[in-house]
Amino acid sequence: MRASARAAARSAVRMAALAAALLAVDAAAQPAGAEPAPEASAAPARAATHWRSSEAQPSPGSAPASATSATTSSRTDPLPPPPSVLRRLREIVARGGARPARLADDPTAFTTVLRAADYDGEAATTEELLARAPGVQLRRFGGPGSPTELSIRGSTASQVVVSFDGVRLDTAQSGQADPSTVPLSLLERIEVARGGGSAQAGSNAIGGVVDFVPLAAGGPGRTRASALRGAFGTWQGAVTRQGTLAGIDYALGWDGFSSDGDFRFERLPRRSGFGLVRPVPPSAERINNASERHATLLTLGRGFGEHLRLTVRDHVFYESRGAPGLDDGSNRDAGQRARAHERNLRHLGLVRLDAAELGGTPLGARLEVAHLFERRRFHDPDPVLRLGRSVDVDDRNRALTLRGALDADHDLGPLHQRVSTTLEHRRDALDSPDFDDPRRETLAWLIQDDLSLLDGRVRLAPALRWERTEGFGGRWIPRVGLLVEPLPGLRLRANLERAYRAPSFDELYFPDQGFLRGNPGLRPEESTDGDVGVELAWERLGPLSALRLEAVWFRRDIDESIVWVLASPSLVEPANTGPASARGWELSGSLRCFEWIELAANHTRLDAELDATGTPLPGRAARETSVRLAIGPPSRAARLVVERQRVSEIPVTPTGNTILPDRTVWDLALWVDLARVAGLRGRLPAETLRLGFEVANLTDELVRDAQFFPQPGRSWLVRLEGTW
């Protein structure tokens, strides 16, 4: 008792001293008598005030903005207040045109919005943000620049649709996309919609949908640049520019990253019936782990008259990296591959035409064509032990999507209705010397409704999709959601939906190599999802502001799950397996205290198991908790951020009998805006100039998301970022 009281007192003193230090920095940053800068007063408010106020005045012909969860920032849009028609167009553009297939726009969906601006000054990455969202688990296969996999509510990576401005990044070959390949510097926000989303997004959206929303084009000219230097020879730089020139809105950006990746790692001992066997060597250095990445973004937008807007977007990603592979050997390098290498190139091109109030009617339309090209090359000149030969892969994937959408809203007495319909055609093709050039065409038609009663206090959002995937016939995919707001600040949501996933080309057509082969007889995965939750929000409660709490219960029943299984003594192939279920809780909350302290936390509890045996689905942790504490003045002159993430043990085999240990990871970040420091203010040619220092994995915890893919321990970085 006495000891805990002393500990609490020490913490309080420490917090007070930190606050005093930050106060001192803030005071020094402000000239005497000056008003706080407008931007400072509109600091990120993770509050329900956003959705409450933005829905307060729906204009005729416009629908209320989507009611997203409280990580949405209320930062004002950079555009000047537009006339009513342009406002309508902007809403269309901002919300994805005439609302085509976007689960995140569904008012009843449980969505987390992660705004890049909320992490200004920090060296945050897309995968780090995603890992801290409720219901999301991330598997990393190394340090920065290494591949990652995403899981939502216990899904596999190929059961999550990952899109860039609504265009899918996952290819038909793998069925999944690596979220770490989209740098945060090129994004405005990330929207994570949890739950079955096949009605809006089509195949693969069993776990949910992650949409990367790129930087908006237009506005007053703004340039941002950053440079980072970190451990393991890591460098990163980014430059973005948004503005308007000759009537054309533009956003362009480049993000470059390189790292030697040569971190030392400890290898986990293994405890079995033989006792605790220590690996040899007990530690090693990650070899052949250098990586280099570049990503670019170009967005052009122009309005034609008051009713049309054309957007062209181009995004390129390139990476070249060593592939050290598993650390399952006993030589000095622990069995890592010394010369395996991969190079990947991705190009996404999009042309979109939005129209509002066609013919003077409340009818909106969108026409869109998008092309995705991805080339993956892998080469390992050293013979693989059991294969006896080297490996050479060169796969080229292409996807062409045509999409058209119409929507209209109108009032029927007390009922406000918005109906939208979308027609979509997609063609996927794989060119590879190892495959027989498979092709797949998908045709889909979606109709969505959004019925609003009692000034939006009750909303019913049914959706129905018909989709035909070549080789798998057509299917109807229904979804219905309900939102009820019985009291201001209290929202109840519930959803029920069906979802499915067509097998990928790898699963169907992987060439028969004797020990590994695809299975053309696979059936699609099918699931039924449901979730129900409550959201509480208060603008102010004493010293607390932007207070938000959310609790969601979810369940998914999935059948015909496709799993790579042992089929014979010498063969592994994918097969449809029996039913599995995932259920659990997502608890999240955030608040601000005295305008100086921001606290956000979430906890996810997941029970994912095979129904036949009750064994846990491998690769998913049963519990994950994230806490983020940010301390700093409202002027954002400085920030101290402490984050803690705890992940419970992870079973890695289908029996659940091989288990990776749990871990708790602490991260620390501290930055100061030099442009607000006395003596420098006014002298620096920058609106903001943030210098930051961060330590990741402060306690050097041994972290592994997979048995044989080590991750770095404690690491540091220094970052400088400026805007003007």
Positions in 559-598 near other proteins (CB under 8 A)? 563, 565-571, 573, 575-578
On whether the CB atoms of residues 300 and 217 are closer than 8 A, the answer is yes
On whether the CB atoms of residues 622 and 648 are closer than 8 A, the answer is yes
Report the residue from 94, 248, 268, 458 that binds other proteins according to the rule CB under 8 A: 268
Q: Which residues pair with 298 in a beta bridge?
A: 252, 314
46 vs 108: CA distance, rounded Å = 19
Residue 388 binds to other proteins (criterion: CB under 8 A): yes
Q: Which residues pair with 697 in a beta bridge?
A: none
Using CB under 8 A, count the residues that bind other proteins: 84
Report the residue from 434, 437, 455, 512 that binds other proteins according to the rule CB under 8 A: 512
Strand duo 208-214 + 160-164: pairing: parallel
Q: Which is nearer to other proteins, 488 or 511 (CB)?
A: 511
* In the complex, minimum distance from the CB of residue 8 to other proteins, in angstroms, rounded to a whole number: 14
Q: Which is nearer to other proteins, 458 or 516 (CB)?
A: 516
Strand duo 473-487 + 248-259: pairing: unpaired
Q: Which is nearer to other proteins, 16 or 245 (CB)?
A: 16
> 168 — alpha (psi -120 to 50), left (phi > 0) or beta?
beta
Residue 14 binds to other proteins (criterion: CB under 8 A): yes
Per-residue DSSP letters for 149-211? Answer: EEEETT--GGGEEEEETTEE---TTTS---GGGS-GGGEEEEEEEES--HHHH-TTTTSEEEE
Tokens of 125: 């990455």
* In the complex, minimum distance from the CB of residue 563 to other proteins, in angstroms, rounded to a whole number: 6
Alpha carbon separation from 23 to 210, 545, 593, 599 (Å, rounded): 38, 19, 15, 18
* In the complex, minimum distance from the CB of residue 707 to other proteins, in angstroms, rounded to a whole number: 7
Report the residue from 54, 528, 625, 658 that binds other proteins according to the rule CB under 8 A: 658
Report the residue from 280, 338, 393, 541 that binds other proteins according to the rule CB under 8 A: 280
Report the residue from 38, 386, 414, 473 that binds other proteins according to the rule CB under 8 A: 386
Q: How many CB atoms lie within 10 A of CB 654?
A: 17
Alpha carbon separation from 218 to 85, 105, 245, 299, 508 (Å, rounded): 17, 23, 8, 9, 44
Positions in 455-484 near other proteins (CB under 8 A)? none
Residues, the chain: 724
Residue 177 binds to other proteins (criterion: CB under 8 A): no
Residue 381 binds to other proteins (criterion: CB under 8 A): no
Q: Which is nearer to other proteins, 452 or 688 (CB)?
A: 688
Report the residue from 8, 9, 12, 17 that binds other proteins according to the rule CB under 8 A: 17
Strand duo 308-322 + 291-304: pairing: antiparallel
Q: Which is nearer to other proteins, 250 or 509 (CB)?
A: 509
Positions in 686-715 near other proteins (CB under 8 A)? 695, 698-702, 707
On whether the CB atoms of residues 588 and 69 are closer than 8 A, the answer is yes
136 vs 128: CA distance, rounded Å = 11
In eight-state DSSP terms, residue 103 is: G
Alpha carbon separation from 165 to 186, 241, 311, 349, 645 (Å, rounded): 12, 18, 11, 11, 29
Q: Which is nearer to other proteins, 78 or 521 (CB)?
A: 521
Report the residue from 515, 540, 541, 683 that binds other proteins according to the rule CB under 8 A: 515
On whether the CB atoms of residues 92 and 364 are closer than 8 A, the answer is yes
Q: Is 456 helix (H, G, I), strand (E, B) or coil?
A: coil
Positions in 328-367 near other proteins (CB under 8 A)? 328-331, 335
Report the residue from 451, 601, 659, 720 that binds other proteins according to the rule CB under 8 A: 659
Residue 277 binds to other proteins (criterion: CB under 8 A): yes
Report the residue from 521, 540, 541, 543 that binds other proteins according to the rule CB under 8 A: 521
Segment near other proteins (CB under 8 A); pick from 199-207, 238-246, 268-276, 468-476: 268-276
* In the complex, minimum distance from the CB of residue 470 to other proteins, in angstroms, rounded to a whole number: 19
Segment near other proteins (CB under 8 A); pick from 39-47, 250-258, 398-406, 508-516: 508-516
88 vs 636: CA distance, rounded Å = 32
367 Cβ contact list (under 8 Å, min separation 6): 352, 353, 403, 404, 405
Segment near other proteins (CB under 8 A); pick from 50-58, 380-388, 535-543, 681-689: 380-388
Q: Which is nearer to other proteins, 76 or 283 (CB)?
A: 283
* In the complex, minimum distance from the CB of residue 653 to other proteins, in angstroms, rounded to a whole number: 4
Positions in 115-134 near other proteins (CB under 8 A)? none
Segment near other proteins (CB under 8 A); pick from 130-138, 169-177, 467-475, 654-662: 654-662
Report the residue from 6, 612, 683, 718 that binds other proteins according to the rule CB under 8 A: 612
Q: Which is nearer to other proteins, 19 or 536 (CB)?
A: 19
Tokens of 587: 């608890």
* In the complex, minimum distance from the CB of residue 720 to other proteins, in angstroms, rounded to a whole number: 17
Task: State phi, psi for 510 to the nearest 5 degrees.
Answer: -55, 130
* In the complex, minimum distance from the CB of residue 661 to other proteins, in angstroms, rounded to a whole number: 3
On whether the CB atoms of residues 490 and 465 are closer than 8 A, the answer is no
Residue 655 binds to other proteins (criterion: CB under 8 A): yes
Segment near other proteins (CB under 8 A); pick from 99-107, 213-221, 482-490, 659-667: 659-667
Positions in 614-653 near other proteins (CB under 8 A)? 614-616, 640, 649, 653
Name the residue with tokens 């089509």. Answer: 202
104 Cβ contact list (under 8 Å, min separation 6): 66, 68, 111, 113, 191, 192, 193, 209, 211
* In the complex, minimum distance from the CB of residue 609 to other proteins, in angstroms, rounded to a whole number: 9
Report the residue from 274, 412, 487, 542 that binds other proteins according to the rule CB under 8 A: 274
Report the residue from 8, 9, 12, 21 that binds other proteins according to the rule CB under 8 A: 21
Positions in 192-231 near other proteins (CB under 8 A)? none
Spatial CA neighbour of 263 closest among 141, 123, 143: 143
331 vs 337: CA distance, rounded Å = 11
Q: Which is nearer to other proteins, 470 or 649 (CB)?
A: 649
On whether the CB atoms of residues 161 and 209 are closer than 8 A, the answer is yes
